[in-house]
């Protein structure tokens, strides 16, 4: 990669050890002798006058100084990559690449539709969409593996730039013929007579749902628990009285097409999460990534 040639070799070796957690694994991935990597890291530590890793039997973990240097190395790597892409775009060699990490709710239809619309207007831009849990999506932004992260968040991470934030309350989702489908708002107690299909307990939407049930001292047991949203939606198609839960974005286009109905749950605590669009703090984005970021933000905020 030309962008790698624009980086200092010692920083590149250092960053690979941070990512791998050991010199031996970094040696395998880089096809470079471990002794050479050790010498470069020792040179960096001598140059900075401080150690960069806590060394353990199981590997190497960056200390506070190492974490700061890792942030610098990641930013340098991607600034170099952005420069290469922009120069090539000016020469007509390529128009850009955008890498996104998102949670499943965004990747089911929302992001694929936006990417499709965007590439029709900008056919030279290529996309990679990775689907991960929120913490992993944010980690990939921090590591510089992606340009943009789109997650449901209830906290704040340092070194993350929040490009866009908006509330994402928990909604009850059902088919149009469901008895509750015409209501503007409903309470959790109104769900008791109906079969529930719920996501796994490690998702933010399920966690808020369980907390709200606990506060109301309600015991709402699902007949189906599924790790994929498509399975929950499929359950509704074959169980017309069934109900699941999601954010508005997840089912926005299915609601528009009249396939599903999304009804606000009014109980306390079900609005304690946000949609976050994340980038790496201080990173200069390519023109293609910035253009898609602007488009994404405009579409998220549509009513």
Dist. CA 191–CA 199, nearest whole Å: 16
Predicted local distance difference test score (pLDDT) of residue 202: 86
Residue 84 domain-assigned (yes or no):
no
Q: Tell me, yes or no, whether 78 lies in a domain.
A: no
Residue 9 domain-assigned (yes or no) = yes
83 assigned to some structural domain: no
Whether residue 54 lies inside any domain: the answer is yes
For residues 109 and 240, state if they share a domain: no
In the structure, what pLDDT confidence band is assigned to residue 92 with cuts at 50, 70 and 90?
very low
- Considering the domain architecture, whether residues 158 and 175 belong to the same structural domain is answered as no
User: What's the chain's average pLDDT?
Assistant: 88
In a domain, 82, yes or no: no
Structural domain including 58 reads 1-70
Q: Evaluate if residue 82 carries a pLDDT over 70.
A: no
Check which CATH number belongs to the domain holding 209 and give it. Answer: 3.40.190.290
Q: Are residues 100 and 118 in the same domain?
A: yes
Number of domains in the chain: 3
pLDDT value at residue 93: 35
Residues 197-212 as b or e (16 or more Cβ within 10 Å = b)? bbbeeebbbbbbbeeb
Tokens of 174: 């059902």
Is the pTM above the cut of 0.75?
Answer: no
Token pair of 7, please?
Answer: 């980086």
pLDDT-based confidence at residue 3 (cuts at 50, 70, 90): very low
Q: Are residues 4 and 129 in the same domain?
A: no
Domain with 104 in it: what CATH number? Answer: 3.40.190.10
pLDDT of 152 above 70: yes
**Domain match, 288 and 161 both:** yes
Q: Do 164 and 177 lie in a common domain?
A: no
Residue 38 is part of a domain; what is its CATH number? 1.10.10.10
Q: How big is the CA angle at 146 (ends 52 and 96), to the nearest 5 degrees?
A: 125
Residue 248 forms part of a structural domain? yes
pLDDT digits (tens, 9 = 90+) for 154-196: 566 778 999 999 999 999 999 999 999 999 999 999 999 999 9
Q: Is residue 39 part of a domain?
A: yes
- Burial of residue 64 (number of CB atoms within 10 Å: 0-12, 13-18, 19+): exposed
176 & 259 share domain: yes
For residues 1 and 136, state if they share a domain.
no
Q: Are residues 155 and 277 in the same domain?
A: yes
Residues 158, 300 share a domain: yes
Cβ contacts of 288 within 8 Å, gap of 6 or more:
85, 89, 95, 96, 97, 98, 122, 125
Q: Residues 28-66: pLDDT tens digits?
A: 888 888 888 888 888 888 888 889 898 887 788 889 888
Give the count of alpha carbons within 13 A of 291, CB side only.
Answer: 16
Q: Check whether residue 47 and residue 196 sit in a common domain.
A: no
- Does residue 150 share a domain with residue 177? no
Q: Given phi > 0 = left and psi -120 to 50 = alpha, else beta, which region is 234?
A: alpha
Q: Are 233 and 261 in contact (CB under 8 A)?
A: no
Task: Report whether pLDDT(78) > 90.
Answer: no
């Amino acid at each position: 990669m030309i962008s790698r040639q624009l980086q200092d070799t010692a920083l590149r070796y250092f960053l690979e050890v941070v990512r791998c957690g050991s010199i031996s694994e970094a040696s395998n991935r880089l096809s470079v002798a471990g002794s050479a990597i050790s010498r470069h890291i020792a040179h960096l530590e001598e140059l900075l006058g401080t150690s960069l890793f806590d060394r353990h039997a199981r590997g190497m973990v960056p200390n506070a100084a190492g974490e700061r240097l890792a942030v610098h190395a990641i930013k340098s790597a991607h600034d170099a990559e952005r420069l290469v892409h922009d120069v090539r775009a000016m020469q007509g060699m390529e128009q850009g690449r955008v890498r996104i990490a998102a949670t499943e709710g965004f990747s089911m239809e929302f992001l694929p539709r936006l990417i499709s619309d965007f590439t029709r207007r900008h056919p030279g831009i290529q996309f990679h969409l990775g689907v991960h849990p929120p913490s992993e999506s944010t980690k990939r932004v921090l590591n510089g593996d992606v340009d943009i992260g789109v997650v449901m968040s209830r906290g704040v991470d340092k070194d993350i730039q929040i490009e866009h934030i908006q509330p994402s309350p928990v909604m009850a989702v059902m088919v149009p013929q469901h008895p509750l489908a015409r209501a503007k708002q409903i309470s959790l107690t109104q769900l008791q007579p109906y079969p529930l299909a719920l996501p796994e307990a490690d998702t933010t939407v399920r966690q808020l749902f369980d907390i709200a049930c606990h506060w109301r001292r309600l015991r709402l047991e699902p007949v189906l628990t599924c790790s994929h949203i498509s399975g929950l939606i499929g359950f509704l198609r074959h169980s017309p009285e069934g109900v699941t839960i999601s954010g508005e974005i997840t089912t926005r286009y299915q609601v528009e097409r009249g396939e599903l109905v999304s009804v606000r749950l009014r109980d306390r605590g079900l609005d304690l999460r946000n949609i976050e669009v994340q980038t790496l703090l201080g990173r200069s984005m390519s023109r293609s990534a910035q253009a898609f970021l602007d488009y994404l933000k405009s579409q998220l905020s549509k009513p």
